[in-house]
Chains A and B, each alone.
Chain A
Amino acid sequence: MDDDYASTDEDYQYSDQDVEEEDSVGEFYENADDSIQLPSSIAPAAQVITKESLIVAQKEDLRRVMDMLSVRQEHARIMLIYHRWDVEKLFEVYVEKGKAFMFAQAGVSVDEYHDSGSLDSAIVMCEICMDDIPSDEATRMDCGHCFCNTCWTQHFFVKVNEGQSKRIRCMAHKCNSICDEAVVRTLLGRKHPDMAEKYARFLLESYIEDNNKVKWCPSTPHCGNAIRVGGDDDLCEVECSCGEQFCFKCLSEAHSPCSCLMWELWEKKCRDESETVNWITVHTKSCPKCHKPVEKNGGCNLVSCICGQAFCWLCGGATGRDHTWSSIAGHSCGRYKEQEKSAERAKRDLYRYMHYHNRYKAHTDSFKLESKLKDIIQGKISITEEKHSGRKKTELNDYSWVNNGLLRLFRSRRVLSYSYAFAFYMFGDELFKEQMSEAEREMKQNLFEDQQQQLEANVEKLSKILEEPFDTFKYAKLMEIRMQIITLSALIDDLCKKMYECIDNDLLDSINLGSVHSIAPYKSKGIEKASELPVCWSNKADNTEMLLSEKDSCIYAASVGVTAELNQSEESGCSSRKRARKEGGFFDLNLPAEVVDRN
């Protein structure tokens, strides 16, 4: 008997784990839930990016570009923003078109302006305000254009205000060059600290907003987090640390095995129709002439539509207008007649929708009701625990089988409810009418429905068992229930998996052109919880000493060579010049990644 248990459990969870004793089974289940949060080294799992870990999150991509092309971090950032943080694409451009093209395209000026002669003269004329100003109140950008600080500041202010933080261009006509980050922050920070902060934030958030692999969590009210997915496939379902579960691709609720498009259509249909449809079917009849739904607001059964057509409320048939209290001219609907075809069709469509919708709704409702089971079951567990506390420890020392069964129930309920929405579109005329022959469709429908029915039956069984008052049971019966729950859970998991496989391989495979209807893969352990990124960044640690930065760091920005700068940062990790750039309170975007780590 014991051997039996163990082997079942083994199948249910992981075949690669060594489960020998009954005892370990319990522990095993306990771990089952924790193991949802796989360490990132094993799987390229989804990760939560919080406000705090945003810098750390993008450092790896920046690092790669900086190392590969030996450029400054801000230049790496400009280019990555231009290429939507697609490092591979950036390298592709580099290999195919060359460095110069890549820089010019993104608006990076690395060929620093060498002729500093004009800066030496005490007075420069700013072409924007047309004022003559002392040269230490003017700033020359990497592209060589020099304007006065006041004009620069105003330019930055206007651009940041317009929401163009990520690509602020030089003021000169037809100059494509992007303004130096440090200069923007220094100049803007002097007069409009709030704007400088906004600028820095937008720049950082570009990693989320201009990136196909990172998306904001769609929770409302917004939790402030973003999710980054690993791997190449953005088709997956994730759970944010705030508890919001969603489809990463379309950002609506997790909806597999529906495809995103199906779900969008379904949701819209439900929103638009269910309430209305219900009301319309109960309260109206459609006019035999114009087919508008007509509500009867009193009077006799001869109803007149706004189109002028009169019809009998009892049978919906068109009639003449002459009538008495007891009869309508030329009409007797007491006689039974076959109904007309077109009306039949509309009705069939509606019934079809209602069939799927009712089942979809039933499972969603069950899911909601069963969510309350969690607490009840906890209560039962503690009672049972007390009752059997005298027992040998090895036999019943933990009740994770109940909780696991419950989780399995929740997950499969979800799958079941969405499978009805899937079926509605899969076997309906809306999406795939052209792609499938009638016979083919029937075959597929049978195949799918068989699986669905099996799953449904087992889910209901599990639901029933879980609601049993096992806290009142004797030990033998308790063990029996435990056994049932465990086997059922395993069976359901398997059925779910098979259903996904069936959808992927047998149903969608032949007709899913362009993979519009790809579905997120089945996860036996439920929707993947995004793991937290470690935050190695402390904001306040050493900012205070840097508060008094070099006043003219902006001018310096134009005159220090790239290579010199890189060397510095390589040697000391944090050169004095880099430190000097730091402004109190802001994130320092230019700090080399390893310094960020160290802090």
Chain B
Amino acid sequence: MQASRARLFKEYKEVQREKTADPDIQLVCDDSNIFKWTALIKGPSETPFDGGVFQLAFSVPEHYPLQPPQVRFLTKIFHPNVHFKTGEICLDILKTAWSPAWTLQSVCRAIIALMAHPEPDSPLNCDSGNLLRSGDVRGYQSMARMYTRLAAMPKKG
């Protein structure tokens, strides 16, 4: 318990210090609970998520960093490896390939990378995965862009 708290505190300081270094990621810790974090990440450019801002929720386990944090999308997103309803993410480093050397910040970076390079062969969102697997990249992109506009962009006017 103490170890995870100490480590999270370190990460918190690190985030404060490097706030400007990575403008795509904005990690915020819950005011009252250091085991709850949220992050705002920018959709990577040249992808259908470009221009959108996506919110992630982190739930850090007691044995962190020896066990991976639980991360899910709060913002709706059309992506093969993200569950459309729950926002659950299928990413190896959050499951079996987790290493304690990862930080919350680096997890965010991995998720941004996943947004740019989906893995349609292990889909959580079958519709999205099937579009990509059948080679309909345009269909996938237009769907994803539509949901990005609907859910991840501030409404104008």
Contact = CB atoms under 8 A, between A and B. Distances in A.
Interface stretch (A148-156, A214-222, A477-485): A148-156
A158 B6 contact: no
Interface residues of A, number: 15
B63 A158 contact: yes
B20 to A, nearest CB: 20
A546 to B, nearest CB: 30
Interface in A117-144: 127-131
B100 A174 contact: no
A128 B97 contact: no
Contacts of B3: 129, 150-151, 154
Contacts of B14: 130
Nearest to A155: B66
A127 B14 CA distance: 13
A173 B101 contact: yes
Nearest to A161: B63
Given A154-B63, A158-B63, A130 B100 contact: no
A127 B101 contact: yes
Nearest to A158: B66
B99 A151 contact: no
A462 interface: no
A171 interface: yes
Nearest to B10: A130
A128 B6 contact: no
B101 A171 contact: yes
Contacts of A155: 66, 100
B65 interface: yes
B99 A171 contact: yes
Contacts of B66: 151, 154-155, 158, 171
B121 interface: no
B10 A129 contact: yes
The dominant DSSP class at the B interface is loop
Interface string A164-178: 000000011111000
A128 B7 contact: yes
B127 interface: no
Contacts of A130: 7, 10-11, 14
A174 B99 contact: yes
Contacts of A131: 6, 10
B99 A173 contact: yes
B26 interface: no
Given A130-B11, A158-B67, A171 B6 contact: no
Interface in A428-461: none
Contacts of A172: 99, 101
A171 B97 contact: no
Given A154-B3, A154-B66, A155-B66, A128 B10 contact: no
Contacts of B11: 130
A130 B15 CA distance: 13
Contacts of A128: 7, 65, 100-101
Contact of B6 (A127, A129, A174, A175): A129
B153 to A, nearest CB: 34
A150 B99 CA distance: 16
A234 to B, nearest CB: 32
A174 B100 CA distance: 11
A128 B67 CA distance: 12
Interface string B68-112: 000000000000000000000000000001011110000000000
A351 B91 CA distance: 58
Contacts of B101: 127-128, 171-173
Contacts of A129: 3, 6-7, 10, 65
Contacts of B102: 173
A174 B7 contact: no
Contacts of B67: 158
Contacts of A158: 63, 66-67
Contacts of B10: 129-131
Interface centre among B10, B66, B97, B102 (most CB of A within 10 A): B66
A158 B101 CA distance: 15
A155 B63 CA distance: 9
Interface string B4-32: 00110011001000000000000000000
A460 B39 CA distance: 82
A154 B101 CA distance: 14
Nearest to A169: B99
Given A128-B101, A154-B63, A158-B66, 5 more contacts: A128-B100, A129-B10, A151-B66, A158-B63, A172-B99
10 contacts: A128-B100, A128-B101, A129-B3, A129-B10, A129-B65, A151-B100, A154-B66, A158-B67, A173-B97, A175-B99
Closest 10 CB pairs of A and B: A173-B99, A130-B10, A158-B66, A128-B100, A171-B100, A173-B101, A129-B7, A127-B101, A155-B66, A158-B63
